[in-house]
Every structure is written in structure tokens, then in C-alpha cells.
């Protein structure tokens, strides 16, 4: 059975909420301190989730569904790009890993925003550490999979949604 658009968009929001809940669980209950790239990935996840939530509440028809789909896919694509960079940093040999940098809150206090973004995306030694793996894949690797899945979900949702919206 084909679901309505709001239900499908809500599933995208729910996936983002579960992803954020898991990230917060790892931080607050398992003691994993997020590196600056992890924080940027969280921002992208929240952005995608808010777009899915807005689509759920608005319930657009026709071309409006594609606007939300492209916005959610863009937010997810940005997150996937950051996660891919993170995975790449983790794959570097130890002698090629950049030196560890200052904490994100310090950078935000000392530098303009665009310089902070550029510095964080270049990565540092904190981002290259692999704290945990599941099935041989690191947390940023699973985050990359999640972002790709969200982007695909955003793009197929308008195709599979029933025409009338409630």
C-alpha cells in the first residue's frame, strides 16, 4: 500500500530523531566525546530532520514535495560529505594524520565562522581516532550510510506518496 506524503516525511524525521538520540546516548551514557566533525554531522542531521518535520506539518502537494525532497537531500548530502571526509581521515596512516587542534567552542570564540568551518572540515587528529566499530565499520562510516539512506529516502518519498494529502 502506498502511504501519504506526510507519513513518509514523518518517517524521515523519525530516522533523524533516532540518529540524534543515538549520538546523544553515545556521548552522555557511553562517554564518547564528539569531535568537531561529529558536531557538524549532528548539525546536518538536525537540519535534515527539521526539513522532514516541516514537510510533515506542511503536507505539500505536487511540486512542493520536490522542494522539500531537494532540501532534505541537500542537508543529507552535506552530512554525507562531512561523514565521508571523516571516514577518509580515519583511513589515513598514522604518520599522515593532521595534528590535533583546539576544541570547537574555542575556535568559535577566536575565529570568524567561515574560517572555523574550513578548519574543521580539513580535520585534525581528534577526528582520526576510531573509538568504536560495529561490523568492522566506524561510527562515521555508519553515519555516512545513514546520510546516504536519508538522501535517497528524501528523493523517493515524492515518488511513492499517494497523490492526495491529508
pLDDT band per the 50, 70, 90 thresholds, residue 1: very low
C-alpha cell at 7: 507519513
Long-range pairs, 24-33, Cβ under 8 A, ≥24:
26/132, 26/139, 32/131, 32/132, 32/139
Per-residue pLDDT reduced to its tens digit, 10-55: 999 999 999 999 989 988 888 887 777 888 899 899 999 999 999 9
* C-alpha cell at position 30: 557511553
Do residues 87 and 38 make contact, with C-beta atoms less than 8 angstroms apart? no
* pLDDT at residue 129, as a whole number: 62
Residue 150's nearest CA partner among 57, 18, 4, 2 is 18
Confidence of residue 118 (pLDDT cuts 50, 70, 90): low
Domain residue ranges in the chain: 5-160
Q: Domain 5-160: give its CATH architecture.
A: Up-down Bundle (1.20)
Average pLDDT over residues 54-69: 90
Amino acid at each position: 500500500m502506498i502511504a501519504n506524503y506526510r507519513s513518509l516525511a514523518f518517517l524521515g524525521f523519525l530516522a533523524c530523531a533516532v540518529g540524534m538520540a543515538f549520538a546523544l546516548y553515545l556521548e552522555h551514557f557511553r562517554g564518547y566525546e564528539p569531535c568537531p566533525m561529529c558536531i557538524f554531522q549532528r548539525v546536518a542531521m538536525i537540519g535534515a530532520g527539521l526539513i522532514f518535520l516541516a514537510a510533515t506539518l506542511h503536507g505539500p502537494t505536487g511540486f512542493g514535495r520536490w522542494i522539500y525532497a531537494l532540501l532534505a537531500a541537500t542537508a543529507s548530502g552535506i552530512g554525507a560529505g562531512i561523514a565521508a571526509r571523516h571516514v577518509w581521515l580515519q583511513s589515513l596512516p598514522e604518520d599522515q594524520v593532521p595534528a590535533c587542534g583546539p576544541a570547537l567552542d574555542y575556535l568559535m570564540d577566536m575565529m570568524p565562522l567561515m574560517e572555523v568551518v574550513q578548519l574543521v572540515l580539513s580535520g585534525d587528529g581528534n577526528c582520526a581516532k576510531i573509538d568504536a566499530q560495529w561490523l568492522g565499520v566506524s561510527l562515521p562510516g555508519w553515519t555516512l550510510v545513514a546520510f546516504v539512506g536519508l538522501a535517497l529516502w528524501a528523493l523517493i518519498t515524492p515518488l511513492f506518496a499517494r497523490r492526495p494529502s491529508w
